[in-house]
Amino acid sequence: MALQDLCKWQAPGTLELLPHLPQSGGWAVPRGCDPQTFLQTHGPRLAHGTTTLAFRFRHGVIAAADTRSSCDNYVECPASCKIIPVHQHLLGTTSGTSADCATWYRVLQRELRLRALREGQLPSVAGAAKLLSAMMSRYRGLDLCVATALCGWDCSGPALFYVYSDGTRLEGNIFSVGSGSPYAYGVLDRGYRYDMTTQEAYTLARCAVAHATHRDGYSGGSVDLFHVRESGWEYVSRNDAWVLYSELQKLSELEKQEEEEASQAHLRPATLHRAGEGGELSLGLVPGDSRLPVETETL
């Protein structure tokens, strides 16, 4: 495809089959209509829902997502993959319209491979995020829906960027995208630390996505977990979301029981005993104590 572009050659009869994206003003709409207004009025109304997250820590970048793909109120696929490898050291989470995400990731993969061949080195995560943001910003206002977190490791170490289809590009340590992101953020904000161990990071990511799938109707299926290291990205596991949530509930119940038992063990009830021949009741308090009652009861 790159050679065809360079030589400006196209096979006869294949003009309409080439996967070229049209220019921003080249969409087929009725004459006299503004493309943005026409698509907003007559375009399809699709409900988007998912839970994807990524966070950076000292051992790399963790990316996790659910596997449920939905179309309006129907589950289209319960086992889709929402984390797409882009390069050997770079991958991204997908949220939005599935077709838009898949198309733009193919375009990004092609451009990064060409850049790596020309420059002789791996592209940086910041450069990939800037490239994707610049390409998608040309289609702003045309109902393009892509929200991604680019996770990678380059010469500067682990890096994480959020890119949206309107050209927004942000760098940070934690990002969660999708309809289940508020629930995931609640778990991440409580348990995130930059100096976590690898197993603690795995547990936190699984816990955040599992809780989000329990509360968000558009999220579910399984939990995919990826880890980007200095040597490249690694596929860690896929676990059933409901099984994970059930195990987390059992662990929380056990922790509550242990805390109650520990608190009861520290409580020491006051003992009543008779003090001397006077028959006065004492509560085990010494004179002068602020808890000493004003009057003592005599038998």
Lowest mean pLDDT among 8-17, 117-126, 150-159, 214-223: 8-17
The band of 296, judged by pLDDT with boundaries at 50, 70 and 90, is: very low
The band of 252, judged by pLDDT with boundaries at 50, 70 and 90, is: confident
Q: Is 213 a catalytic residue?
A: no
Dihedral angle of Cα 216, 219, 223, 229, to the nearest 10 degrees: -90
CATH architecture of 52-250: 4-Layer Sandwich (3.60)
Name residue 235's amino acid: Y
Out of 50, 51, 67, 148, which one is annotated catalytic? Answer: 50
Residue 134: name the closest of 164, 176, 90, 161 by CA: 164
Quick one: average pLDDT of 269-297?
47
Taking a C-beta distance cutoff of 8 angstroms, is the pair 52, 73 a contact? no
The band of 272, judged by pLDDT with boundaries at 50, 70 and 90, is: very low
Taking a C-beta distance cutoff of 8 angstroms, is the pair 105, 83 a contact? no
Where are the chain's structural domains? Answer: 52-250
Q: What percent of the chain has pLDDT over 90?
A: 34
Residue 202 has what pLDDT? Answer: 95
Quick one: average pLDDT of 90-105?
88
Name residue 21's amino acid: L
Lowest mean pLDDT among 30-44, 124-138, 280-294: 280-294
Taking a C-beta distance cutoff of 8 angstroms, is the pair 194, 58 a contact? yes
pTM for this entry: 0.70
The band of 163, judged by pLDDT with boundaries at 50, 70 and 90, is: very high
The secondary structure of the chain, three-state, reads CHHHHHHCCCCCCCCCCCCCCCCCCCCCCCCCCCHHHHHHHHCCCCCCCCCEEEEEECCEEEEEEECCEEECCEEEECCCCCEEEEECCEEEEEEECHHHHHHHHHHHHHHHHHHHHHHCCCCCHHHHHHHHHHHHHCCCCCCCCEEEEEEEEECCEEEEEEEECCCCEEECCEEEECCCHHHHHHHHHHHCCCCCCHHHHHHHHHHHHHHHHHHCCCCCCEEEEEEEECCEEEEEEEEEHHHHHHHHHHHHHHHHHHHHHHHHHHCCCCCCEEECCCCEEECCCCCCCCCCCCCCCEC
Tokens 């309107």 map to which residue? 166
Residue 40 has what pLDDT? Answer: 63
Quick one: average pLDDT of 103-132?
88
Residue 11 has what pLDDT? Answer: 47
More confident residue, 193 or 260: 193
Span between the terminal Cα atoms of the chain, in Å:
103
Within 10 angstroms of residue 55's Cβ, the number of other Cβ atoms is 25
Residue 70 has what pLDDT? Answer: 75
pLDDT surpassing 60 at residue 83: yes
The band of 49, judged by pLDDT with boundaries at 50, 70 and 90, is: confident
* pLDDT tens digits, 194-234: 999 999 999 999 999 999 999 888 888 899 999 999 988 99
The band of 298, judged by pLDDT with boundaries at 50, 70 and 90, is: very low
